Amino acid sequence: MKCKDLLIKGKAKSVYTTDTKGKLIVEFRDDITAFDGGKKDVLKNKGCHNAGVSAFFFEYLEKNGVKTHFFTMLDPYHMVVRKLEMIPLEVIVRNIAAGSIVRNYPFREGTLLDPPLIVIDYKDDARHDPMLNDEIIIALKLVTPAELIKIKKVALDVNRLLSVLLAAEGITLVDFKIEFGRKGKTIYLGDEISMDSMRLWDKKTGESLDKDVYRFEKGDVMTIYNQVAQRITRSVKKQ
Ligand code: ADP
């Protein structure tokens, strides 16, 4: 299978049409951005670490009953996926208070959120991805009430499955963001699950193992991404 036309060029990935109906190729580029694109860099090998981790997670989630867009990897940078009509929601699950929830609300960083918080933002860079509530989501007709229930259930299933897997490697899943899309009436998990879309802390040292290393210049991003990709994929292989 080969890339045909460029369908979407996002901040870190490019999506191509293919010669097979209903299938797309997602290229994980070496671009990294933060703060609404205000900070940008190109980091050699970053794309393949994120693609590798995403592919492992999608396979693991599929085995555990979560419907994802993942088919296969063509090479370390290119993933074959099901073409979805993406839903412009960023579904965030938070187990520990960190990041924007601490900046915008009176949570103290590091507070355990039990049960986990589900926060849903409107995916729109120009509007800085504003936080939604259920009423706004339904009023905007972004999803039906039944789809919203389904999306939240899948988000919590993904949280439970990934938390267990990462804990086995001594990593705390602090929070993560996922995106969903439709094919007909079926909702699939799309996009990526990687160090760019999760917040991960080392259980022993509390050290950041994710894009916060880049955002706040906490160390050498690629050394950390390389190490964490190896830890994660090793933990998946043990399952
Ligand atoms: P962004 O600039 O939105 O952060 P990315 O660089 O991550 O974007 O680009 C990926 C784009 O591809 C996003 O717009 C995402 O919604 C879209 N996408 C992800 N998975 C699929 C899919 N299975 N079908 C169609 N579009 C997808």
At which residue do the structure tokens 């964490």 appear? 228
The region that residue 181 occupies, defined by phi over 0 for left and psi between -120 and 50 for alpha, beta otherwise, is beta
The alpha carbon of 222 is separated from its chain's Cα centroid by a whole number of angstroms, namely 18
* Residue 155: both structure tokens together: 């988000």
For ligand 1, the distance from its centroid to the CA atom of residue 150, given in whole angstroms, is 21
Residues of the chain with pLDDT under 50: none
pLDDT for residue 234: 80
Residue with structure tokens 């109906």?
21
Question: Tell me, what's the pLDDT at 238?
Answer: 52
The Å distance, Cα 106 to ligand 1 centre, comes to 32
**11: Cβ below 6 Å to ligand 1?**
yes
How far, in Å, is the centroid of ligand 1 from the Cα of 32?
14
pLDDT of residue 236: 52
* pLDDT of 21: 95
pLDDT the model gives residue 37: 85
Instruction: Quick: pLDDT tens for 133-186.
Output: 999 999 999 999 999 999 999 999 999 999 999 999 999 999 999 999 999 999
- Pocket test of ligand 1: the residue of 26, 187, 196 to mutate, having most ligand atoms within 8 Å of its CB, is 26
At residue 88, the pLDDT reads: 98
Distance from residue 89's CA to the centre of ligand 1 (Å): 11
